[in-house]
Structure 1
Amino acid sequence: MNLSKADFERISKLVYRNARPIDFARWKYHFEKGSQMDIVEVLSSYQNEDGGFGHALEADSWNPNSTPIQTTTAIEKLCEIKFSDKHHLIVQGILNYLDSGAEFAERRWNNTVASNNDYPHAPWWHTDSSSTSRSEYNPTATIVGFILEFAERDSGLYKLGMGVAEELIELFLHNSKLEMHPLKCLVAMINSIEKANLQDHFMFTRVQEDVNEQITQLIQRDSQDWHGYSCRPSTFIKSPDSSLYEENKALVTEELDYLLTTRNADGVWDLTWKWNAFDKEFAISEYWWTTELIIGNMLFLRAFNRL
């Protein structure tokens, strides 16, 4: 079962109608031979003078101020397109923000910030939220990975990144029971360590083995549980090149079929969450997130030749 050309065109038209500029640029890049630099240019519009990111780049938080979470979202977008220019202004801005010490306490970047409360947001980005377990990893691990890839190796920021990375790996090896989002951040850090050729500085093989074991435990194996907040195979297995693909091949095939058969009347996928507040603003963010889901699911389908 594959997505038909007619359905692809229908989805494409929906993206053209509803996507915000950053996600439209991502769609064009991935599916229409668009420019990497178009994404970077639009992404820069979310960057503040201090180098951090805000302005609802993370669509569940409408805070215009720079925050670690929204800056991490920018890092993820750059990683998605394999952006590697260490000297580009957008990268240097992020490094300056991280080096400033803003929202950095007890050797971790804060998961939530006080100014979130002043703007429309999902409940998990409120400062009194306890919904994000093991927040020492989220977003710190992703941020640290970015530092190890892009910061100058004789800089204080790089040395800080190395130290925090060592701490997080030690912490994980002592307690590997992570939830989905913290584990995604740890995986991002591990991928960055590998791209930066820093494996020899860490217990890399053991960490990879423990991460894969934890991913295997987290993946929901009953498709009946995939309609809500859950860890599907695609959360961590992005292509047949994944080290976890062969042992989960049947489950990946099941998810591919699931994606093709659970599209709504518009031919796309419904969100599995709501804010329970700020209804007008969430109605807008819901459109933004829909395109995010479309891009992620379409990339997954394409990786396994289902388009």
Structure 2
Amino acid sequence: MTDENPFLAAARFLLREARPLERRLFAACFEGAPPDGVVDALRAYRNADGGFGHGLEPDKRCPASLPIDVEIAFQSMAIAGAHDAQLLGGACDFLAGVAVDGAVPLAFPVIEEFPRAAHWTDWTYERGVNPTAGLAGHLWALGFDHPWRAAATRFCWDAVETGTLPGEVHGLSEVMTFLAYVPERDRAEKHAPAVLERMVGSAMFQLTPKPGEYGLTPLHVAPTADSPWRRLFSDGQIEAHLDQLAAAQLPDGGWPVAWEPPSEASRLEWRGIVTFQAVRTLTSYGRLVHGEGGQ
């Protein structure tokens, strides 16, 4: 934990160590900067095929376009309130070109030619709700229509309503993102509790905090206080994870990562990502106050 104001310490960490994307996200969310800066930062990761690559998701240092990198781009634009029809349309065209029945994989075998974290193996080449559901959910959040979004939405509803969902926590988290933003709210509200129950029962979900151990938590499902899935957790569960998240801030102002990235550059990039995410969550829930008055 840092000895100085936690919000300001995190801001200084991002200025020192984070890549331009997270600095632009911080500026858009907390400093009143226009969201266009986030789009400008994302352009550096865009390829001629309309997709995103170049390690936008830092665990693989592959320049080729990958659906997981597209998801990071969509998520970043949604958080910042940015909207660029050219970037979104080109990325959707890329996804449509690699999809089968609307579904896309996280990655392709091209990643094997580049440094990558140990968990990026051939399982990431399988098309499924991870990342299709998250991609579709973010497009709904962005309000961007495209034929691929329609195909992906059909695929996701079929997976949810036939029960053909993975038991793996990240895939289920993607489904919760889809259900958070898809406009058929009664349908989404009907299925979300069962998907969450399956998620809570998976090996890497921490309903109660496990400090220093990798896993997803209620704050991944409800990262901000206005999340539609905040109500699926008790106040005690949310507060315990907020306590743990606040306590995890390091003396340098940033937050750590609980896995082994493929390089020191990747580790710093991830620390910028998780630090921005922590500040956004803690601020939303009232645990950090923007500026000198921080707690």
Scaled to the shorter chain, the TM-score interval is 0.7 to 0.9
Give the alignment partner of residue 240 of structure 2, picking from 232, 254, 260: 254
Cα root mean square deviation, aligned:
2.8
Gap change, CA 1:93 and 1:246, over 3 Å in 2? closer
Q: Who wins on radius of gyration, i.e. which is larger?
A: 1
Note if contact 1:271-1:290 (Cα within 8 Å) is conserved in structure 2.
Answer: yes
What TM-score results when the alignment is normalised by the length of structure 1? Answer: 0.81
Amino acid at match of 1:206: K
| Structure 1: 5+ residue stretches without partners | none
The residue aligned with 2:274 is 293
Note if contact 1:16-1:24 (Cα within 8 Å) is conserved in structure 2.
Answer: yes
Give the alignment partner of residue 150 of structure 1, picking from 144, 150, 162: 144
Tell whether 2:11 aligns with 1:29: no
Deviation at residue 211 of structure 1 after TM alignment: 2.6
Give the alignment partner of residue 86 of structure 2, picking from 85, 89, 92: 89
Alignment of structure 1 residues 81-120 onto 2, 5 Å: 81-84=80-83, 88-99=85-96, 101-102=97-98, 104-105=99-100, 107-120=102-115
Note if contact 1:147-1:161 (Cα within 8 Å) is conserved in structure 2.
Answer: no
Tell which deviates more after alignment, 158-167 or 255-264: 158-167
The residue aligned with 1:161 is 152
Q: Which has the higher contact order (CA 8 A, sep 6+)?
A: 2
Note if contact 2:245-2:278 (Cα within 8 Å) is conserved in structure 1.
Answer: yes
Q: Number of paired residues?
A: 283
2:191 and 2:223 map into 1 onto residues whose CA distance is 20
Deviation at residue 28 of structure 1 after TM alignment: 1.1
Identity percentage of aligned residues: 23
Give the alignment partner of residue 239 of structure 1, picking from 224, 232, 235: 224
Note if contact 1:133-1:179 (Cα within 8 Å) is conserved in structure 2.
Answer: no
What TM-score results when the alignment is normalised by the length of structure 2? Answer: 0.84
2:105 and 2:200 map into 1 onto residues whose CA distance is 28
Note if contact 1:141-1:188 (Cα within 8 Å) is conserved in structure 2.
Answer: yes
Give the alignment partner of residue 254 of structure 2, picking from 268, 289, 296: 268
Amino acid at match of 2:172: L
Deviation above 4 Å: which 4+ runs of structure 1?
Answer: 2-5, 132-135, 146-149, 215-219
The residue aligned with 2:215 is 230
Deviation at residue 115 of structure 1 after TM alignment: 0.9
2:105 and 2:165 map into 1 onto residues whose CA distance is 21
The residue aligned with 1:10 is 9
Amino acid at match of 1:98: L
